[in-house]
Every structure is written in structure tokens, then in C-alpha cells.
Amino acid sequence: MDTVASLLAAHRSGRRSPSETVRATYERIAAHGDPAMFISLRPEADVLADAAALEAHKAGALPLYGIPVAVKDNIDVAGLPTTAACPAFAYQPTADAVAVARLKAAGALIIGKTNLDQFATGLVGVRSPYGVPRNVFKPDLVPGGSSSGSASAVAAGIVPIALGTDTAGSGRVPAMLQNIVGLKPSLGLVPNTGLVPACRTLDCISIFALTVDDAMAVLEVMGGFEASDAFSRELTVAPLAPMPKMPVLGVLPAAQREFFGDADAAAAYEGALARLAKLGARLVEIDFAPFAETARLLYEGPWVAERWIVAADLLARDPEAVHPVTRAITEGGAKPSAADAFRALYRLQELRAAVRPVLAGLDALVVPTAPTAYTLEAVLADPIRLNSRLGTYTNFVNLLDLCGTAVPAAIAPSGAPYGITFLAPAGRDAAVAGIARAFAADARLPLAASGTYADYPPLPPAADPERLDVCVFGAHLSGLPLNGELQSFGGRFVASVSTAPIYRMALLEGETPRPGVTRVHDGGAMLTGEVWSLPFEGVGRLLGTIPAPLGLGSVELADGSIVAGFLAEAVEIAHCPDITGFGGFRAYLANDDISTDDAPPEA
């Protein structure tokens, strides 16, 4: 099953072109045969034209080069109608949502718009005139909502990434029910410009993926302040880092766990906690009561009025155009008074104050993503009550301004998937994802409904503010003549890396063979190197030993990250022999029969 990481590697190495990926995507859509997954698809020829443009511009360095993406149909994509799963509401946007525009600028290819619970109201995925997307993992279960089509598209392997939205759990519950990852960003981190609101004060655009790494790669592209969004915040996305050695995780005490009689769900949560303890986490029971009360506020309080605002004109003009369950819920939003709203806001502020010291002592809170998994038959028979139950552990999250990552935890003997969600205060998206990643890597569950498994390579240590990561390409590589000098300056090996395919390498003149790496606009290639961490004092000492035309600059790696590194001025090396074709200096030396000691650095 293709992930973002595997597709990027294939596209950048030339093993597969973005155009070939697009053709395979449309073949999978046809073979999968679920007409309720997408509300609208872009013509294959149009997406192929976009892929060809990327290939012609040699855009391999882009962080999402040629990655196919599906978009929930309450998020604008220019050229496709936005329906919010309500034909009478549909309109034709003239511009992409900011989040979509950022994906396109990063090299992503938008495939189409996915189905959803109408006006993003629901956690079940059955409230749409466009049908019910099939749950790919277990077809008798609901697909989860409201981002039903997006979750199904990722679980089916149609696309490795899909955008959802999350107001009350719509980016997390479908992830659990289809055995994939759901990342719910901090409020205001991803701009909402171009999003049809559900509850404008609580909405966020979310990400479905097969791995935590893929979800975070997309968040890094989409995140960042946007002046056109009044709810945008000055938040940044830190890079993924390993889980702390002994994270403190808040867990539900046994007396406050609610699974509505689902013994498999209870066992899955207990098993997940045992796995976390084995990974070194310290589990601390917390009082869940204020979280549960906050969850009840979402539909008992005035926030339903925000949903009513969106559909008010349509409800007045043509109420039959709205799905009957959605209409029953939304019409209630016209009833609360201003006094009701303020009373609820006062209580919410008190609840936020109550949970703040609890969360301050934790690296993350760990809850079941949903308390159980319901069948399609059961939900159609009891649509509102069972939907409400699915929000037991999700409804409070945005009200309390938390971010979270939902990951698979277990597959029950019945075949039903269960998951857990890691939560923390806004701004800690990467830290929470890092803990979720460690759990997912240890759990070793299959990707969605496939028989393949995620590859979670070791992460480099978290950045040290007293040190700098520096990429070296030549004689300072491990085992080569100047590596001892690098270590004497306090250097620590971090990782072997490859650059983005935008560099060339020349052989410099001198007694010690050295390469000169320079960035180019055309004809670039991926080059291998190593990243070493040095104290700033050591960086200064190292710079004193580096001769012209080399100097310290910024190097873009294959994963899109930027590190410091030694580069050469192009004009100064124009006359030097070009050795780019070897792919790296060590390969050049091996080919040139120069004796080297290729022993890896000590841990």
C-alpha cells in the first residue's frame, strides 16, 4: 500500500512518475467500485496535465511531489462544486481553500471531493443524499463521520492522504473505524479560509493518513498563520521527535471508562495502556469528569446555534432539502438565547480552568478514540443516540483547545478495529504525534485493510538548542580522513541522509580529496551525505578549517527538511571535474579505488 513516504521515494528516484501514480489512482477508484466515496472527481486528463507540469518543471524537491490527495466536500477546490453533501446548498468556488492551495504549491495532486455527513453534522457517515461510503476495513460497520469518504479513500489505498474536518471528532472517529491515522491539529494552526463552517469557533481541517509520519508531513505544509482567516493563530509545526524516555500519560480510571457494554473495546484500551507502560510511559489516572461535562456542552449548549447559522437560509427556504436527521439537530440551534450562550461560556471557562493543571502535568492524555464500533444496521435504526455515544471521547477536545493524533490500537476477534487518541494543549501537535508514532510503531498493525505494515524508521533526537545539525558530504564523512577532526569538535552522528534532487557535486583541487556541492536550477540529482550535531563552539572551530570555495549554507534534504551544510560557490567550481553521477563522495572514492575505512560511527 502506497504511503506518502514510499511514493516520494519512487517519484524522486525515477522508479515511478507522478503521471503513472495518477493513472494507478484512477484504476483503483474504478476497481474499488464505491460510488458513494466521492461526490465529484476531477477528470483524469486534468490531473495528468498537472502531473506532467510537475515533471516538466523537475519539481522533485517539493515536499508532496506528485502525491494524490482527496478533499472533503466542505473544503473549496477551484473547478469543483462545494456541496457540503447538500445539493441545494452547492456553489462553485472561484479559488482553492488556503489549505488546498498550500498542498498544491507543495506538489500535491487533487483527485476529487469526498462524501460526508451533511454539513459535517455527524460521527457516523450515513447522513448524505450521495449514499453511504463503504467501510473498507469491516463493511458491516458504519464508515465513521462526518469525514466518511475521506477516511474510506485512504483506507482503500485510493490516496495516501485525505483532508477531513474535525469539530466534534469527525477527523478521529472515522480513523478508528477504518484502522488508519487521524490527525486533529490545534485550532487555528491550519487556515480555515475556504471551509464551509460547522461550528466556526471550533472547526479545524484534519488529516487522514496511513502513518503518523505522512500526516505530519502534510501538517507541516498546511500549517501556518493566514491573515485571511480571522481564527488563524501564530502557531508553528515542530518536526517530529522521538517519544520522551518516560512520558507521563493521563489515563481513564476504571470507574470512569464507558464502552457501552463493548468488552472488546474495553480490552483494546486496557491492552493499549499495557503496551504504553512497556514502552516506558508512566500512567497517571486523571479525573475525567470535567472532560465528560465539557463534551456534553457541545450539543446541550449553544454551539448547535453555530450549525444553524450555516444552514439557516436554506432551512427557511427549503427545509426538505436538508437530511431529516441533520435538520432535526440543526433546527434546535435557533432556540438558545443570548443568556444561554453566556451561561455556557461561563461554565466552559470554569471547566478549562479545572483541566488546565491536570494537563500541565502530562505529556499527553490517552483516551479511546471511540467507546465502541457500531454496525450500519444499528445506526440506521437509532441514528441520534448511537451517534452521540461515538463522541464520548471526542466532543470535548476542541472546546478545551486541544490537539490530538488518533492511531489504531487493536483488532478484536470480531474483526472490529479499535484505536486510541493522544491529546495535549494547543501548540503541541508534534510532541503528541511523536508519542502516537512510538505507540503505532510498536503496535505493528496492518495499514488499513491491507496486509502490509508501516515503516517507522528511527527518528533523530530532538533538536538541542545548544547544538547545530550540519550536513557533510566529503572528507568529514564517517570513516574518512577528517571525520576524527569532526568528532574532536564535539560532533555526534545523527543520520545518513539524501538531499533533494537539486544539487551537483564536483571534485575540488587539493591534497585531501574533497567534493564541492552546489545547488542548481536544472539537472540536479540526489546526493548522499551525513548529518552531524555539533555544539556552536565546535561549529566555529570547524568553519576555521574549511577552505574556499566551501562555506556554510542551507541544504534541503529529500524529506523537505532544511539543515545547515557545506556548499560551494558554483562559479568557483565550474572548472572542476563533475562527479555528480556517483551519487555521493563515498561512492566516488570506492570507484576511484582510494582506500577508505568505511566503518560506521559508534553509537
| DSSP helix/strand/coil, 216 | helix
Active site amino acids: 72, 146, 170
- 3 state SS for 85-118: CCHHHCECCCCCCHHHHHHHHCCCEEEEEECCCH
How many Å apart are CA 264 and CA 185, to the nearest integer? 29
How many Å apart are CA 69 and CA 74, to the nearest integer? 15
Q: Where are the beta strands (DSSP E) in 473-527?
A: 492-498, 503-508, 514-519
List the one residue out of 110, 82, 113, 121 whose CA is nearest residue 18: 110
Torsion of Cα atoms, 242 then 244 then 248 then 250, to 10°: 0
Instruction: Enumerate the H helices of 318-428 as residue ranges.
Output: 324-331, 338-360, 376-381, 383-390
Strand order in the sheet with 68-72: 38-41, 109-114, 68-72, 161-166, 204-209, 181-184, 402-411, 417-425, 364-368, 248-251, 282-285
User: How many angstroms from the chain centroid is the CA of residue 199?
Assistant: 22
Residues pairing with 471 in the sheet:
531, 565
Return all residues near 97 (Cβ < 8 A) that are at least 6 apart: 75, 76, 77, 191, 192, 193, 194, 195, 205
Return all residues near 152 (Cβ < 8 A) that are at least 6 apart: 34, 37, 114, 133, 134, 135, 136, 143, 174, 178
How many Å apart are CA 422 and CA 434, to the nearest integer? 10
The angle that helices 429-443 and 263-278 make with each other, rounded to 10 degrees, is: 100
Return all residues near 393 (Cβ < 8 A) that are at least 6 apart: 169, 295, 367, 368, 369, 370, 371, 421
CB 574 within 8 A of CB 508: no
Residue 413, Cβ density class (10 Å: 0-12 exposed, 13-18 middle, ≥19 buried) = exposed
CB 560 within 8 A of CB 220: yes
Residues pairing with 285 in the sheet:
251
Identity (one letter) of the amino acid at 336? P
Query: What CA–CA distances, in Å, run from 577 to 80, 525, 526, 564, 581?
Result: 51, 16, 18, 25, 11
Exposed e or buried b per residue across 422-433, where buried means at least 16 C-beta atoms within 10 angstroms of its C-beta: bbbbbbbbbbbb
Q: Kindly report the number of other CB atoms within 10 A of residue 479's CB atom.
A: 13
| DSSP helix/strand/coil, 274 | helix
Cis peptide preceding 478, ω within 30 of 0: no
